[in-house]
Amino acid sequence: MRREKWLVREPAQDSAALLFCIPYSGCGASMYRQWPRFMNHVEICPVQLPGRENRMREPAYGTYEEMAEGLADGLLPHLDRPFGFFGHCGSALAAVETTRHLAGRGAPLPSRLFLSSQVAPHDPPYGRLLGMNEAKLRDELHHLLLGMGTAPPPDLVDLALEILVTDMEATRKYRFDAPFELPTRITAIGWTQDIDVPADLITGWSAYAPTDFELLEGVHYAFLEAPETLRRVLLRDLEPAAAHRGERTR
């Protein structure tokens, strides 16, 4: 696979730091369309995964371990400056596994992992969608796409449903008996009105790395609009690394 396919656009050369945003289960990079391209000196870089949107013809990965290998290869040319990963729900696990893969290769590591609405892999799996049959998942996906500003035709919803089922299975498989060490600091984000993954279930991340917990106002999908409260957290935890790079390059 060509490396440039993994990102919607090439990062700007003068961006001080990059935030790679991995799409939610069943969705593509367009779910970050409401996010700004830049937050101060941090550039937002939506990741495009195989099997969706402009990569629809490519097979989707069945596990986060398989996905992490390809994503790490695709991002490696851009890891020449401070960066972070943002993942929500299932894509938080994708961010974790990609970080593990980069560490195993001795590659540059993220300055911060932003993990939103996801329980730690050693905790009992939890998520409203995990208990749904395909008919209910299809209805959920239809409403999610509408919320993203898309009026999807039925055949598009059916294609997205196939990816969602595959992604949900990857989430079920990504389980460990005990915590493992992550080589970067975590910001774990919960949402006050999240009925899919209640905020009090995400505390297990502190067993993996030093973790800052944030409780933000909103429902499960509130992150789609990049609310100001979320932007402040992202900048607070990633901009110091960007500023440090700027000092070194002067």
Q: In sequence order, what are the beta bridge partners of 178? A: none
For residues 199-227, give the mean pLDDT.
Answer: 97
Contact between 191 and 199 under an 8 Å Cβ cutoff? The reply is: yes
How does residue 247 score in pLDDT terms, banded at 50, 70 and 90?
very low
Helix axes 64-75, 90-104, angle to 10 degrees: 60
Phi, psi (degrees; rounded to nearest 5) at 69? -65, -45
pTM: 0.90
CA atoms within 13 A on the CB side of 194: 27
pLDDT in tens, 133-177: 888 888 877 777 776 666 767 777 787 788 888 888 899 899 999
Query: Among candidates 205, 173, 200, which has minimal Cα distance to 188?
Result: 205
The per-residue pLDDT for 245 is 60
For residues 9-31, give the mean pLDDT.
Answer: 92
Instruction: Specify the pairing of strand 42-46 against strand 17-22.
Output: parallel
Q: Which two tokens stand for residue 4?
A: 């440039």
pLDDT in tens, 64-102: 999 999 999 999 999 999 999 999 999 999 999 999 999
For residues 13-17, give the mean pLDDT.
Answer: 93
For residues 116-127, give the mean pLDDT.
Answer: 92
